[in-house]
Amino acid sequence: MSEGSIRYMLSTRFHYGFPEDCIAIVLKEALKGLLDIHNSGQVHRCFTAANIFVNFKPSPMRNVEIKLAFAATGYESDLECPTEVVEYDHGPHPVSTSVPPLLIISEWASAPEVYDTLYDGEDHDGNEEDKCLTFQSDIWLVGIAALELAYGNIRVNSRAEFDAMINKIRKSKRLPNKLEYLLEEIMAEESQKYGKLKGAVESFLKDKLKLGKKKGERPFSKEFEKVVLECLNRNESKRPTVEKLLQMPFFQDAKDLKWFKRCVLHAKGPMPIADDG
């Protein structure tokens, strides 16, 4: 794929994430591939920004393609010849408290039912893996991919911090301007529990968290937030199917690939969508 993966594009040019209308285009195209995979009775297991690829065809029509990679191929929903994609050796799971690598985000940010079953430090057989890796666990990863596209990265120090972040988003039913602000709020609350936060520091954090949060202002649309919240439902039975996701207004009203080409491929530089504060 000529332009590489969406994650590559985020890491090199769009450090603060894509504009929301481009997020809709990327996810919609990837969901079309996921729909065909699910219709064939298979589970993707690794729906991430690293497995969504962009290809620009300079001739004859100068078309743009966005494809979801599946296993060792770039999945083509129209059954054209697949494009090979490099498979990576994930290596051992990290045991330190450093930021988990995005390369294995489908593991450390996996659905609760998957993480609690497969990544609890014990050995598991294939039956347990097949039971917890389902269409619903794929949908959870769609929500995680949406966050990565919106913010450019997901930097947490542990699964506990990740869970706290997701719980905060679910509780508030809206997305913050920046994930860093939300994580700082979580850290402040944890410090308060143990009486370690001085008044001056607490006031500073509160002021910082208010940046870009004028009354009525939302950094993202309610339609996008609804997609994320539906995908990140802790109860897997309440997560939508791919078909239902594609029927949601966020995707029904999505712009076409020409818009993506204009705003992303032809952009001269990074397009941050959040104020650095």
pLDDT value for 206:
56
Give the burial class of 93: count Cβ atoms within 10 A of its Cβ; 0-12 exposed, 13-18 middle, 19 or more buried.
Answer: exposed
> Is residue 81 within 8 Å of residue 66, measured between CB atoms?
no
**Cα Rg, the chain, nearest whole Å:** 19
CA–chain centroid gap for 117, Å, is 21
* Residue range 4-86+101-177+212-265 in CATH 1.20.1250.20: no
Write down the domain spans for the chain: 4-86+101-177+212-265
As a whole number of angstroms, the distance between CA 166 and CA 254 comes to: 25
Average pLDDT over residues 51-71: 83
As a whole number of angstroms, the distance between CA 46 and CA 216 comes to: 36
Q: Which residue has the higher pLDDT, 95 or 234?
A: 234
> Is residue 209 within 8 Å of residue 181, measured between CB atoms?
yes
- Looking at mean pLDDT, say which of 72-76, 104-108, 201-205 comes out highest: 104-108
> Is residue 70 within 8 Å of residue 181, measured between CB atoms?
no
Q: Where are the beta strands (DSSP E) in 58-158?
A: 63-70, 73-75, 83-84
pLDDT band at 267; cut points 50, 70, 90: low
As a whole number of angstroms, the distance between CA 110 and CA 157 comes to: 15
As a whole number of angstroms, the distance between CA 109 and CA 98 comes to: 15
pTM: 0.78
pLDDT band at 266; cut points 50, 70, 90: confident
Q: What is the pLDDT of residues 131-189, one digit of tens each?
A: 889 999 999 999 999 999 999 999 888 899 999 999 999 999 999 998 888 888 888 87
